[in-house]
Each structure stands twice: as structure tokens, then as C-alpha cells.
Amino acid sequence: MGREDARALVREPERDRDHEQDDDSDDADLDLDYSPEAALYKPTDNISLGLRGRRSPLPGARLSETPEEVVMPVYVTIHRIRRLVLTAVGPSAPIADCPDRLLTLCLQTSPTLSTSSESRE
């Protein structure tokens, strides 16, 4: 399967609601928590949401429709990163013999202080 929108991972629980339909409802409490609506839930509007009751699960869904169908090209990315890092930090690179110094320099530069816009320039 090719690359799909990885953000579907955030939405995917919606497709997983059927898990509770065919079972003993032992964790039916979690079904709504997977929805984007639950993700946007704010503690301040708790009363109205809390009294709304339980939504019925999506009809027709099956256990096979699991989130792992969203496939990340992990294998390719791992090898891509390895190639990039091997090229960036080669044996003759000036930082190769001073990892501690590299670490110190990088930490001093901007991990906490600079803004994102600065670090992306």
C-alpha cells in the first residue's frame, strides 16, 4: 500500500468503534474517546457533553478495519535517514572525532531558546 495521509492515524479510531458492538461492552467507554470530537473536547464544556449520553457505534464496521491499514513507509525512511546521516557525518567529517563537542554546540545553539521560525531559516 502506498503512502496515505498519516494524519488518518489521528482520526482512525472512528473506524474502530465497532469493536464494542460485537462484544461485551467492556470498554465501550472508550469508543467516543477515539473520535476527533473527543480530541477537541475542552474541560470547560464538560457538563453538556457529559449528559449527552453514549453514541451508538458505526454500523457495518468490522474488526478487520483496523488502523494498521495506514502503512508508513518505515523501511524506506529508515534507510533514507541512514544514508543521509552517513553522508552528513562521514569518517572525515570534522565533527567525527568530537561528538561531545558537537552535542554541546548543538545544545547551545537553539534547542530551547530559538523560535521555530528562527530554526527553520
Partner 1 sequence: MNTQIVLPLVNRLYNPDDLSTVYCLLANRVQFLRTHEETLQQTVNIARAIVCELVAARILRRFHEDNPGRPGLLLLANILVSGFDAFDAAPEAVRRESRAQKWHAQERGGHERKLIALELAILSESKILIGSIGCQRVVDAVHRGLVVYTPLSLVDILPDHYKHHPVSLYEPRRAAILNHRRLIVPQLRNLIELYHFAILLALYVLTMTYCNRFERGTRIMTWYEIAFDVFTAGWVLEQFAAIIEHGWEVHAQNLWSFLDITFILIYCVYGATRVVELLVGIDVNYALPILCTAAPILLTRIAFNLMPDNIVFIALHAMMRDFTRLTFIAIWCFTGFLLGLLWLMRTAFSSDAAWEDSTAPSWATIGKWLLWIWFGLDGTGIERTAEFHVVLGPALAVTFAFLGNTLFLTILVAILTNTFSKIMNNAAAEVQFRRAVLTFQAVKSDSIFAYPPPFNMVALVFMLPLRLFLGPSAFHSINVAVIRTVNAPVLLLIAFYERRRVWSRGMPSVHKRGWTHFGLSPYGDIQLVFAEPPPEVLDQLEKMDVLDTTIHTDIRVRKSRDLDTASMSSFVRRRKQSDGSQPDMAMY
Chain positions 46 to 85 lying near partner 1, rule: CB under 8 A, are 46-47, 49-50, 54, 63, 66-68, 71-78, 80-82, 84-85
Residue 54, C-alpha cell as written in the block: 453514549
CA distance 55 to 29: 10
Phi, psi of 106, rounded to the nearest 5 degrees = -65, -40
Phi, psi of 113, rounded to the nearest 5 degrees = -90, -40
* Interface with partner 1 (CB under 8 A), residue from 21, 60, 61, 102: 102
Number of residues that bind partner 1 (CB under 8 A): 75
Task: Work out whether 113 is an interface residue with partner 1 (CB under 8 A).
Answer: no
Q: Residue 5 CB, nearest distance to partner 1 (Å)?
A: 6
* Interface with partner 1 (CB under 8 A), residue from 59, 60, 113, 120: 120
User: Looking only at residues 27 through 46 of this chain, which bind partner 1 when binding is defined by CB under 8 A?
Assistant: 27-30, 32-34, 36, 38-44, 46
- Positive or negative, the Cα torsion across 65, 33, 57, 21? positive
Neighbours of 28 (CB within 10 A): 15
